[in-house]
């Protein structure tokens, strides 16, 4: 399985005179969990936003599921957008709707889906994201940070996407909550056959669930590979990142990867 669901080639993004990416190449393979790391301001979230079409690249090409979002007609673009799900940092739930209605929102695009089925599906997604039944009727403001992220994940999964984009899924969670979230991502990937693009700072998350890691630095992808590959890289920032005291702690005492998989080349 080496089909690329996301292909980024020669990407250039600029804000005014500030160049964030300059000739960036990146692939996401079907069925893998790719962790994107990098220092603050290296444009991890910008990359995610560019891939899902929220930002327009200055140059270069982004192909998702074999299609270039820039060149698509609006209906085709909509159809493509339904094949991925995005979870934003703080869930980005619609504050006027409760959790169930939030998850139902994308399902409203489906014709011929009755209100009862929509409700049952939304409740299933809420439960799959690991939220208890009584969370359905809660408003986003009544949820803790971790629950908001889970609700955001449930909404991202509403239409059974093929690709899941996660922006800092474990930021701001306590270690137990972060651990549970890592496991949830792997479980969902296995169950729903997802490809996951994961922007993170969390070394434990990288250990626990990422099949491959891409390091963003110097305006491009500096290196990609498994955790073992990362440890061998000589670049000062990469070395510092993966050999610092936190990294060593994560490596030795950290949560081990639970599901060995064979989709890497």
Partner 1 sequence: MTSSSLPSEHRLTGTVSAGVASLSGDFSVWTLARAKQLIGDARQIDLAGLTRFDTAAALLLLSLQDQGVTLQGLAPTHERLLEAVRKSVPTPDPAKPVLRGLRALLDNTGRRVVRALRFLTELAEYLGRFLAALARSIRHPSEFPLIPLVHHCQETGLRAVPIVALMSFLIGVVLAFQGAVQLHEFGAEVFVVDLISISIIRELGVLLTAIIVAGRTASALTASIGSMKMREEIDAMRTLGIDPDMRLVLPRILALLITLPILTVIANAAGLLGGAIMSWVELGISPSMFRYRMIAETDVDNVIAGLSKAPVFALIIGVIGCHAGMKVGKDAESLGAQTSTAVVNAIFLVIIADALFSIFFAEVGI
* Cα(128)–Cα(105) distance, integer angstroms: 17
Cα dihedral across residues 79, 80, 81, 82: positive or negative: positive
Name every residue whose Cβ is closer than 8 Å to that of residue 71 and which is 6 or more positions away in sequence: none
Q: Which of 17, 191, 236, 262 is close enough to bind partner 1 by CB under 8 A?
A: 191
Name every residue whose Cβ is closer than 8 Å to that of residue 181 and which is 6 or more positions away in sequence: 146, 149, 150, 169, 170, 173
Q: 14: helix, coil or strand?
A: strand
Rounded to a whole number of angstroms, the minimum distance from the CB of residue 133 to partner 1 is 5
**Closer CB to partner 1, residue 125 or residue 212?**
125
Q: 22: helix, coil or strand?
A: strand
> What distance lies between CA 47 and its chain's CA centroid?
11
**Closer CB to partner 1, residue 15 or residue 94?**
94
| Region binding partner 1 by CB under 8 A among candidate stretches 12-20, 132-140, 215-223, 242-250 | 132-140
Rounded to a whole number of angstroms, the minimum distance from the CB of residue 112 to partner 1 is 4
> What distance lies between CA 242 and its chain's CA centroid?
21
Restricting to residues 110-129, which ones interact with partner 1 according to CB under 8 A? 110-113, 117, 120-121, 123-128
**Does the footprint of partner 1 cover residue 73 (CB under 8 A)?**
no
Q: Which of 1, 54, 59, 79 is close enough to bind partner 1 by CB under 8 A?
A: 79
Which residues contribute to the site for partner 1 (CB under 8 A)?
75, 79, 95-96, 107, 110-113, 117, 120-121, 123-128, 133-134, 140-141, 157, 159-160, 187, 190-193
């Amino acid at each position: 399985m080496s089909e690329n669901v996301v292909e980024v080639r020669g990407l250039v993004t600029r804000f005014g005179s500030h160049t964030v990416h300059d000739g960036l190449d990146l692939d996401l393979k079907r069925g893998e969990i790719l962790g994107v790391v990098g220092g603050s301001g290296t444009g991890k979230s910008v990359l995610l936003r560019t891939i899902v079409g929220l930002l327009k690249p200055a140059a270069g090409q982004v192909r998702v599921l074999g299609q270039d979002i820039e060149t698509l007609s609006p209906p085709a673009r909509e159809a493509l957008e339904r094949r991925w799900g995005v979870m934003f940092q703080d869930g980005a739930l619609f504050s006027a709707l409760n959790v169930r209605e939030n998850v139902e929102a994308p399902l409203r695009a489906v014709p011929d889906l009755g209100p009862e089925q929509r409700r049952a599906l939304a409740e299933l997604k809420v439960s799959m994201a690991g939220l208890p039944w009584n969370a359905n009727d809660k408003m986003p403001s009544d949820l803790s940070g971790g629950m908001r992220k889970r609700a955001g994940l449930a909404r991202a999964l509403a239409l059974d996407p093929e690709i899941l984009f996660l922006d800092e899924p474990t930021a701001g969670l306590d270690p137990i909550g972060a651990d549970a979230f890592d496991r949830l991502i792997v479980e969902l990937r296995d169950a729903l056959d997802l490809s996951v693009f994961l922007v993170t700072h969390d070394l434990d998350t990288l250990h626990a669930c990422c099949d491959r890691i891409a390091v963003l630095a110097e305006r491009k992808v500096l290196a990609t590979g498994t955790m073992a590959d990362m440890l061998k890289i000589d670049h000062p920032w990469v070395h510092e990142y993966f050999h610092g005291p936190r990294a060593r702690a994560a490596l030795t005492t950290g949560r081990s990867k639970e599901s060995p998989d064979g989709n890497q080349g």
